[in-house]
Amino acid sequence: MGYQYILFHKPYNVLSQFSDGSTPAAADASHRLTLKDFIALADVYPVGRLDRDSEGLMLLTDHGQVQHRLSDPRFAHPRTYWVQVEHLPLAPALAQLCQGVTIKGYRTRPCQAKLLPVEPDLPPREPPIRDRRSIPTAWIELTLHEGKNRQVRRMTAAVGHPTLRLVRVAIAHLELGNLQPGQWRPVTSIERQRLLRL
């Protein structure tokens, strides 16, 4: 049997792992959703992760070489996010994101950042983001070639636009597409061929 490659739409408030890491007594008291609640396949593991409060595309596989290649910072590959932020980012803030910002003593690599002209067509988040009518929001598209812990949130905060909602929509050529939160599918043969060429 060949390797498995799975695309999953991780919902908000789900851990990017198959165990919640709690003790049995604590697990009984407050179960935290994990990948196990959505994916009943053996021996597939996430390539990278999304924070519990982030949503969107994850790749899972049992192919160790692909997992290593996509996780190792030396083999940078693009990851694209749609980010809802507070206020309307102006050109200087977007330029600053593109050039790199300093967060926790680390200078981020140059990336692509653009304002989305309309709100993207995404399923509603449960629970919805806090609505503050006095503070407008906007959506930006960020494409990074690195993946530090909570990097997107820290980048937008550094330029004065805190993140309200964060959805990963692409990993290299793999796209979220029409997958709904909690749904998964195997990669297509074309996606697989391109994945093995990375």
Exposure on the CB side of residue 71, measured as CA atoms within 13 A: 16
**What does the pLDDT read at residue 19?**
87
Apex 71 CA angle, 17 and 84, nearest 5: 70
Per-residue pLDDT of the chain (198 residues; tens, 9 = 90+): 689 999 999 999 999 999 887 655 555 556 899 999 999 998 999 998 899 999 999 999 999 999 888 887 777 789 999 999 999 999 999 999 999 999 988 999 999 999 999 999 999 998 888 888 888 999 999 999 998 889 999 999 999 999 999 999 999 999 999 999 999 999 999 999 999 987
Give the C-alpha separation, 193 to 191, whole Å. 6
Q: Which amino acid is at 126?
A: E
- The amino acid sitting at 66 is V
- Do residues 44 and 187 make contact, with C-beta atoms less than 8 angstroms apart? no
The reply to whether 51 belongs to the active site is: yes
Candidate list 20, 28, 43, 51, residue with the active-site label: 51
Predicted pLDDT of residue 72: 79
pLDDT for residue 23? 53
**What domains are defined for the chain?**
1-75+174-198 (3.30.70.580), 78-171 (3.30.70.1560)
pLDDT at 197: 86
* pLDDT value of residue 25: 54
**In whole angstroms, what is the distance from residue 188 CA to residue 175 CA?**
11
